[in-house]
A and B are shown apart, each in its own frame.
Chain A
Amino acid sequence: MKLQDLRTPISVGLAIVLLVLPLVCNAYWLDVCVSIGLYALLALSLNVILGQAGIFHMGHAAFFAVGAYTTAVLNTLYHWPVLWTMPLAGVAAALFAMAVARPIIHLRGDYLLIVTIGIVEIVRIALLNDVAGLTGGSNGIFGIARPTLFGFRISKGVQFYYLVWCMVGVSLLLFRCLWQSRFGRALNYIKEDDIAAEGCGVNVTRYKLAAFVLGAFWAGMAGTVYAAKMTTIAPESFNFMESVIIFAVVILSGGSQLGVLISAFLFIGLPELLREFHDARMLIFGFAMMAMMVWRPQGLLPPLRRRYRVAENSSSQGVSPKDVWNDSAVSE
């Protein structure tokens, strides 16, 4: 039985487990699951850039940081309610992405990768140096308020759990629609062959930039949730290693959204499960990753093919409309 054939049972099982998890697990594991949800959110947004468009971007933590700091500043200095800052955190990250990506978007593969690594470092060091006297240097910003939703104050772990995973659910739906559209196809054409894509009439620069801006917008919103959850943020939470983990989650996933979720669980959950091995745990984790890349170099779950309804009535066979793909129900 191939992993691809198990998509539907895996998705259904995962959804049920996620719904009932807060009933059975303790505060510690709930916290781990909130963290997994945040990484899933970040990885889903990076998947648009890296998985769909094939742009090697290893600086996603920078956009995450811009979002988190936007929320922190607006909340602590100007007393905006936390959730109200979410769209603005997204917009700030998106604008930042547009400004830094525009001059480098034409770079290819490994060159772009190096520049994006530079972006994370620039952001981290800028935050450390207390940009405009707003970011609080190495201490960061503390005292961020808890979010309220329709007068309901979100402060407990379980409430954050549902907030984060609801956002993951909505993102899954929206990104799936995006994938099954002109926009998603354009990103795939660019990934396959950008010169051919441009030659067919796809505005390659514009779509690459759009992928960046959209991914950054989502990372910025994830930053709001992170700031609200932690109530304290500091530059060291947005270092290069965070970028690498988000990047690795997407690479391991194979590019499908279900793959991203499973991969986020493995990446964040596994090191926690291995805690009893103390010092050896990162070693075991490293070996598991290596085995994975040997066993499945294409990643856990590559995306399915898109489905199209094609009317064949005008062809000689005169068959009624049928599905293009014989794959099992699309769960991704």
Chain B
Amino acid sequence: MRRHRSRPANRLKRHLNASHLFITGAVVLPAYLMQPGLVVRVAQVLLFAALAHLAGKRIMWPYFVLMVASITFFNLLTPIGRVVLSLGPLQITTGALRSGLMKGFTIVGLVFVSLFSVRPDLRLPGKLGGLVARVFFYFERIIEGRKRIEARRLIDSIDDVLLELYTPGQQQSQAVFERVQTTTVGYALMVTLISVNWLLLFV
């Protein structure tokens, strides 16, 4: 079995509350999607990756490289435009290469935007939001009991944890959320990110 690497610290959480961070991601998204330049789009993807890292997310680079490579490869199977290289039966054309790279980076960038702008303390509105909060409350409890689960008596040990955490008919305690206030640095980061991404449309 593989060891699970720990996540980097969430440095954005000190400066931005979950709603403000989510709004930043939502406002940046249309500017990113409308960006026509491939080089600028790659730069944006790298910026979002850095932000995701600052948000404490572990980025699996091989996964994303493979993602861009496979999307580009499947696009190359439908030739468009001038042939730049022939690799056996595969003809690499400018149009297909550009369209494949553009599509691949767009998709990977969308994941990075989501990774930096969405975090578990983002409260969804209404009854559904309340239920999601309960899910996280129980999830933290289950994670605490995880170390007591043994592979040799799997069902029995899972049962021990479940019986301790949830018995029907008993009053359950309430979830408590830590509220984070957005700091001046946080607001400055929001404005900078939004302005830079929208201004890049006119470069």
Do chains A and B stick together as partners? Answer: no
A residues sitting closer than 8 Å to B (CB atoms) are none
